[in-house]
Amino acid sequence: MALCSVEQVKQLALTSITTCIADSDKCGKPVTLEHSFVGSALYVKWVCDSGHVSNTWCSQPILNRRLHSGDFRLAMAIVTSGNNFGKIEMLGKHLNLKMLSRTSFFQIQGHYIVPTIDDFWKDHQTRVLDSIRNKEIVVLGDGRNDSPGYCAQYCTYTLMDSETKKILTIKTVDKRETDGKSPRMETEGFRRAMSDLLQKGINVKEVVTDAHTGIGAVMKGTYPALSHSHDIWHAAKNLSKKLTKLGSLRKHAALQKWTKDIVNHFWFTCRTATDHRQFVELLRGVLHHITGDHEWALGCCQHGELSDSDRNKPWLDAREDSDTIKELANILLHPRLLSKVKHYLNFRSTADLEVFHQHILMYCAKRYAYTPPVYRIRNVLAALDHNFHLGRSVKTKPDGQIQYHRCFNKKSGRWTVFPVKEEKDYSYLKDLTLQALLKRMQDRRGMKRSRDLEDADPRRIARTIMGQAPPPTAQLAAEQVSRFSGTPAFSSN
Ligand SMILES: [Zn+2]
Ligand SMILES: [Zn+2]
C-alpha cells in the first residue's frame, strides 16, 4: 500500500482516457475527472459534458457485501499494532487522509477481529500446550492491573512456562466479576488461569508467584499437592525493608553497614539450602558472622578468605551490640519468615513474567476504556507477540559484546536486565489477517446487525463499573448549570 495524493491519481487517470468513450452516440467529447470517498477508499469517475460516464475506478478491492478491503485492513492494523481508533482518526484529520468511520471500525472489530484473535489464540495455545504435554512444568504466575490499586477495572493473570518462557495461558478479569473489589481480581485471575491449564491436561508440578495472600490460600486449599514457590526477589526486598527500618533507629545504627551483606546472605541461603533445617542453620550463621565469629559450636561460615573491605568493616560487638543482634535475630528467625522457608527452597523468580507484563502496555494504553472482549484480545495480542518472538537471536555490539536493555516494573519496583534481540518480524500477522478476512468473506449477514454480549461478558452483571447506570447527561448538565448560577436545581415551591 502507498500514500497517494488525489491530484497525482487524477494525473495518472488522464493518461488512460481523455475523450468520452461512451458508445451510445460516439460522443468523443473531452472527459473531466470527478472524485469521491467512501471510507478510506478513493473513487474516480471519467465524465464528459453530456454526463456520460466512461469509466469508474476504486483505489481498493471490494470484499463481499461492498466492504472496502482497505477499511478492513486498516481496522485490523489499528488493533494488531496496539493503536486506538481515536488516535488514528486524529492522524487522518491532520494529514487530510480519509479514514474508515468510527462506526465501521467498531463493527469490524466486534464482528471479525475479536473472534478471529480468540480463535487464533486457541489454536496457538493448543500447539504450545501440546509441545509440553509430557513434561512436568514449573509455571511462573503474576497479575497485572490496568491501573494501580483500587481503581483498577481489569486484571490480567498470566502463567508462563519457567523453562521455555512461553505464555501458557492469559486471563483477564473485570472488577464486576469480583463484586467490584479490585484487590480480589488477581486471585480470581489465578484461579481461572490454573484451571485452564489443568483442565487442558498440563502436568503442573510447581507454581511460582509473589507472596500474594489470596493466591497462597488457593494453593493451599485447591492445589495442596503442587509446590508453591515465592519470588525470592520480593522476599529479599521485604527483608531489606525491615533491616533498613531497624538500622534507622539510633541504638541500632551499627546495623546499617551490614544490611546489604545480610540481604546477600539471605539470597545465598535461598540458593543453597535444600531443606528447612539447613535453611535456618545457614541463615542463622550471619548472626555470628557480623560479630566476626566465623566458626561456632554448631557450624561455620561458608565464605572463604575475606576481602580487605570485608575485614576492615567494623564487626558488631557481641556484648555492646547485643540488643541489635537480638532484634536482628527476631527479624531473621521470625516465625512468619520461617513459615515461608518452603516457598524459598527452589530459589525461583518471576522477573521474566514482569517484563512481559510491561509489554502489555504496548497493546493496552492506560487511560483508555476498552470493553471486556477488546481488553481480552489486546492482552492476547501481547501474548502472541511474546511467544512468536521468543526465538530471536541476541544482538551484539561491533566488539561482539551482548547489548542489554533494562525494564522497570512498578508493581514490584524491580529492574530487570535482558539482552536486546533482533528486530521482530510479526510474521504471524499475515495468517491472522488472512483469517480475519476469511471470517468476513464467509459472513452472509453483514456487520450492521447488533452483536449480543458474550455469555461471560461482565457487562451482563452491571452496565458500568460504577455498578449502576450513570444519570442521564441532560440531568448532569442541568445540575451543573444550576450549581454555577447559584439557583437551586429543585425549588421548593
Ligand atoms: Zn460523452
Ligand atoms: Zn563469616
The answer to whether residue 203 sits within a structural domain is no
Nearest ligand to the CA of 24 is: 1
Residue in the block written with cell 455498578 = 467
Higher pLDDT, 481 or 361: 361
The answer to whether residue 172 sits within a structural domain is no
- Total domains in the chain come to 2
Residue 491 has pLDDT above 70, yes or no: no
Burial class from Cβ neighbours inside 10 Å (0-12, 13-18, 19+) for residue 266 reads buried
- Contact (Cβ atoms closer than 8 angstroms) between residue 137 and residue 203: yes
Higher pLDDT, 122 or 417: 122
The answer to whether residue 276 sits within a structural domain is yes
Nearest ligand to the CA of 46 is: 1
* Lowest-pLDDT range of 82-91, 364-373, 374-383: 364-373
Across 366-425, where does the E strand assignment appear? 404-409, 414-419
Residue 306 has pLDDT above 50, yes or no: yes
The pLDDT assigned to 488 comes to 52
> What is the rounded average pLDDT for all residues in the chain?
90
In angstroms, what is the span from residue 292 Cα to ligand 2's centroid?
Answer: 7
Quote the crossing angle between the two packed helices 276-289 and 259-272, to the nearest 10°: 160
Find the domain containing 270 and state its range: 233-344
Residue 292 has pLDDT above 90, yes or no: no
Across 23-32, 343-352, 415-424, the highest mean pLDDT is recorded for 343-352
Residue 493 has pLDDT above 50, yes or no: no
Residue 159 has pLDDT above 80, yes or no: yes
CA trace torsion 144, 146, 147, 150 (10° rounding): -80
Residue after which a domain boundary falls, among 277, 312, 344? 344
Percent of the chain clearing pLDDT 70 (strictly above):
96
In angstroms, what is the span from residue 229 Cα to ligand 2's centroid?
Answer: 28
Nearest ligand to the CA of 54 is: 1
Nearest ligand to the CA of 304 is: 2
In this prediction, residues 62-71 reach a mean pLDDT of 92
The answer to whether residue 140 sits within a structural domain is no
Residue after which a domain boundary falls, among 93, 111, 129? 111
| β-strands 204-209, 167-174 pairing | unpaired
In angstroms, what is the span from residue 106 Cα to ligand 2's centroid?
Answer: 66
The answer to whether residue 67 sits within a structural domain is yes
How far apart, in whole angstroms, are the C-alpha atoms of residue 400 and residue 310?
35
* Lowest-pLDDT range of 131-145, 223-237, 268-282, 307-321: 307-321
Q: Which helix (H) or strand (E) holds 170?
A: strand 167-174
For residue 342, how many other CB atoms are within 10 A of its CB?
Answer: 15
Higher pLDDT, 320 or 488: 320
Higher pLDDT, 483 or 221: 221
Residue 489 has pLDDT above 60, yes or no: no
In this prediction, residues 184-192 reach a mean pLDDT of 96
Nearest ligand to the CA of 55 is: 1
445 to 74, 75, 78: CA distances (angstroms): 21, 19, 24
The pLDDT assigned to 46 comes to 96
Q: Residue 25 — very low, low, confident or very high, per pLDDT cuts 50/70/90?
A: low
Q: Residue 465 — very low, low, confident or very high, per pLDDT cuts 50/70/90?
A: low
Nearest Cα to 326, choosing from 246, 235, 392? 246
Q: Which helix (H) or strand (E) holds 80?
A: helix 69-80
In angstroms, what is the span from residue 286 Cα to ligand 2's centroid?
Answer: 7
In this prediction, residues 393-413 reach a mean pLDDT of 86
In angstroms, what is the span from residue 419 Cα to ligand 1's centroid?
Answer: 67
In angstroms, what is the span from residue 447 Cα to ligand 2's centroid?
Answer: 73
The pLDDT assigned to 492 comes to 43
In angstroms, what is the span from residue 309 Cα to ligand 2's centroid?
Answer: 13
Nearest ligand to the CA of 32 is: 1
- Contact (Cβ atoms closer than 8 angstroms) between residue 205 and residue 227: yes
* Lowest-pLDDT range of 71-75, 199-203, 324-328: 324-328
Nearest Cα to 316, choosing from 296, 290, 294? 290
The pLDDT assigned to 466 comes to 61
Q: How far from each other are the two terminal CA atoms of the chain, in whole angstroms?
A: 67
Nearest ligand to the CA of 305 is: 2
Residue after which a domain boundary falls, among 344, 374, 401? 344
The Cβ-side half-sphere exposure at 52, using a 13 Å CA radius, reads 18
In this prediction, residues 324-350 reach a mean pLDDT of 94
Higher pLDDT, 426 or 483: 426
Quote the crossing angle between the two packed helices 372-388 and 114-131, to the nearest 10°: 40
The answer to whether residue 292 sits within a structural domain is yes
The secondary structure of residue 113, as a DSSP letter, is I
* Cell triple for 129: 500446550
Nearest ligand to the CA of 295 is: 2
Question: What sign for the dihedral angle of Cα 72, 76, 77, 79?
Answer: positive
The answer to whether residue 212 sits within a structural domain is no
The answer to whether residue 241 sits within a structural domain is yes
